[in-house]
Structure 1
């Protein structure tokens, strides 16, 4: 980041670590699936590299942490923040946000993409093009519904960060959530519709970084997406 933008507020996207369903590619919405041992290691490795005093995610610079209510995200926050999590909670900087719950997959829950497409074909759907969640949504939550709840959170974030675009007061935000939801968040941050093709893959336990261009809240930008392998 250029020096002139070094104080620009940032939004860190933290994807939860691996679960048994994410490892196999199953769609995991509201089902409570714990992190695997590898998943915990993934988050712990990311934490050691990026979280802490003087590191990329510096607790002293955090204004708010919003976490999905699902246990895999809550556990990811505990592993990421480590001993700093209680201090952040004491400062009322940590909240659970329903807006960050994963896409509601409805009857597609626990299935693979090809299985969902086969199910929809049996229902007489998708006669011209194959099912795409970004365009078609699910039988429980449409792309527009996901858009609406993400936009409501973005509005809260920008209201929090707007007063500090140029005063260098630390105002970073951390979001701990899920694969589809965080990619959807990045699209909406940039003002794109859900069906827009945005190549931003986040590995389990990976970190995404969003910010603004030239300290202008009307010019959002995606800066980086990074991930760290779990130690053997």
Structure 2
């Protein structure tokens, strides 16, 4: 199951949290996505449009533009009825931290008398005026339940049931944690660059054994 990070924006360049703010892709961000598409999207490739049974797309304009760049007109026409633009896969709502750097958030919290024992950790503490880790987990779990329902009956490749997520770096890392049943507060260092593609799968062809797919055999398809 591929997940696709939206490309670069002006705020990702500087490392600012970009949640509710609807920041468009930069020209280079669009190039990142187009470059990825040329390499991994197509018949027999990692993202084969003929094998896709569902797409979950963040409603933010940078994610919707990524979708437009990732797939050609014919593929998008064939996806009619398969695309779900959903708030469940939007970026983490950073609340009052939106548009700020981690260093600014930590300094502000310290100035308000918070985090006296340890530095702020979004995976544990959530965001003031935004989402808690539990709220994020709950909405991601809803998508995961849908995916397991779609893919569960076809664990041995009886038909193509690939699912594509097009969203954002932070929420996709959170999704990967929930995919393998990790609490968001559990440490699992993951990186996903702008415009990059990650893959999640299952062990032993069992829907109740989700796994992170570290290596992809580009000569064949993975469920």
Q: Which residue matches 2:219?
A: none
In the alignment, the residues of structure 2 paired with residue 118 and residue 137 of structure 1 have an alpha-carbon distance, to the nearest angstrom, of: 16
Q: Which residue matches 1:20?
A: 10
Contact kept, 8 Å, 1:15 with 1:202, in 2: the verdict is: yes
Q: Which residue matches 2:115?
A: 126
Is residue 2:104 matched to residue 1:110? no
The 5-angstrom pairing of residues 66-85 of structure 1 reads 66-85=56-75
Q: Which residue matches 1:205?
A: 195
Structure 2: which 5+ residue stretches go unaligned? 217-223
Q: Which residue matches 1:47?
A: 37
Q: Which residue matches 1:171?
A: 161
Q: Which residue matches 2:221?
A: none
Contact kept, 8 Å, 1:88 with 1:94, in 2: the verdict is: no
In the alignment, the residues of structure 2 paired with residue 167 and residue 110 of structure 1 have an alpha-carbon distance, to the nearest angstrom, of: 43
Number of residues of Structure 1 aligned to a counterpart in Structure 2: 215
Q: Which residue matches 1:224?
A: 214
Q: Which residue matches 2:28?
A: 38
Structure 1: which 5+ residue stretches go unaligned? 1-10, 227-232
For normalisation by structure 2, the TM-score amounts to: 0.93
In the alignment, the residues of structure 2 paired with residue 129 and residue 141 of structure 1 have an alpha-carbon distance, to the nearest angstrom, of: 20
Instruction: Quickly say closer, same or farther: Cα 1:167–1:111, change in 2 above 3 A.
Output: closer
Deviations, residues 177-232 of structure 1 (Å, cap 9, x unaligned): 01110000000000001011212200100000000011101110100389xxxxxx
Structure 1 residue aligned with 2:135, among 138, 142, 145? 145
In the alignment, the residues of structure 1 paired with residue 102 and residue 76 of structure 2 have an alpha-carbon distance, to the nearest angstrom, of: 39
In the alignment, the residues of structure 2 paired with residue 225 and residue 127 of structure 1 have an alpha-carbon distance, to the nearest angstrom, of: 41
